[in-house]
Amino acid sequence: MLRDITLGQYFPGSSIIHRLDARVKIVSTFVFIACLFIVQHFIGFALCAAAMGLVIFLSKVPLSFILRGLKPIFIIILLTFILNLFMTGGEVIFKWGFLVITKEGLKRAIFLVIRLMLLIIGSSVLTLSTKPISLTDGIEYLLKPLKKFKVPAHELAMMMSIALRFIPTLLEETDRIMKAQMARGADFESGNIFRRAKSLIPILVPLFISAFRIAQDLAMAMEARCYRGGDMRTRLYAMKIAKTDVVAIFCVIAFLGIIITGAVIL
């Protein structure tokens, strides 16, 4: 299951989505997320799913690889579905003891599950098609206006990009520790939920130690290279808006307009 987490990973490629400016992709992702919360009907979700399908097709990232990222949050999706299914009042369509399913509850449960799935897929496509360094530069550029309010834009961008970058690294470290513990006779599958939670302690302790070691090595490497960051930092590749980025911006604006118009009409 650890290998199924795709958030924070980068899928190498040279597609049109990979070549887009990081700032355009970040803004487009936030617009897509906003659209998911604006939509109040299944037709709107169909449009969002179609738009995301087109982006995935253009990115040339395997759909199976992206959908694999939904496996780790399957429990959350299931709990969201069950809670909304049985805890929403309305017209009763099924009743068995204290379990009551209403028409409104079924609609709301499906509605929220679709929203959650599209939210995860949209976020995964951003990291899968954007290099960590480009993601850092894009976030820093978008946070520049906040510098007037004494907000450390560069430091915030660096922290967010490092956090995303080291998700796969920590997952690989967790997998390695689990295999080492299983080789010593550890059992992480049997028993009730409390026993399983207790069995994770031999994993969490070395994982925290490894995480602090990685952080220390990273800090020492940055200091050894005289890294200071900030306004005086130069970049090997300057960020420039190309024609494809302009086209992408107009497409995103048009899509947002369609979603808002549909939400008002419906």
**Residue 95: beta bridge partners?**
100
The whole-angstrom separation of Cα 175 and Cα 211 is 14
- Find the angle CA(158)-CA(139)-CA(62) to the nearest 5 degrees: 100
> How does residue 5 score in pLDDT terms, banded at 50, 70 and 90?
low
> What's the confidence (pLDDT) of residue 264?
78
> What's the confidence (pLDDT) of residue 152?
78
> What's the confidence (pLDDT) of residue 27?
93
| Segment 9-23, tens digit of pLDDT | 788 888 999 999 989
Q: For the chain, what are the domain ranges?
A: 1-130+240-266, 131-233
| Segment 125-178, tens digit of pLDDT | 888 888 877 887 888 788 888 777 777 777 787 787 777 777 777 777 888 888
> What's the confidence (pLDDT) of residue 229?
67
Q: What is the mean pLDDT of the chain?
A: 82
The whole-angstrom separation of Cα 231 and Cα 239 is 15
Nearest alpha carbon to residue 31 among 246, 255, 261 = 255
The whole-angstrom separation of Cα 105 and Cα 170 is 38
> Is residue 7 a contact partner of residue 116, using CB atoms and an 8 Å limit?
no
> What's the confidence (pLDDT) of residue 132?
78
**In terms of pLDDT, which residue wins out, 189 or 259?**
259
Tokens of 194: 């409390």
Outline where DSSP puts E strands in the chain. Answer: 92-96, 99-102
Q: Is the pLDDT of residue 4 over 60?
A: no
| Segment 217-248, tens digit of pLDDT | 888 988 888 777 666 666 666 778 889 999 99
Count of C-beta atoms within a 10 Å radius of residue 45: 19
pTM listed for this prediction? 0.76
Q: Is the pLDDT of residue 250 over 90?
A: yes
> What's the confidence (pLDDT) of residue 6?
63
The whole-angstrom separation of Cα 118 and Cα 73 is 13
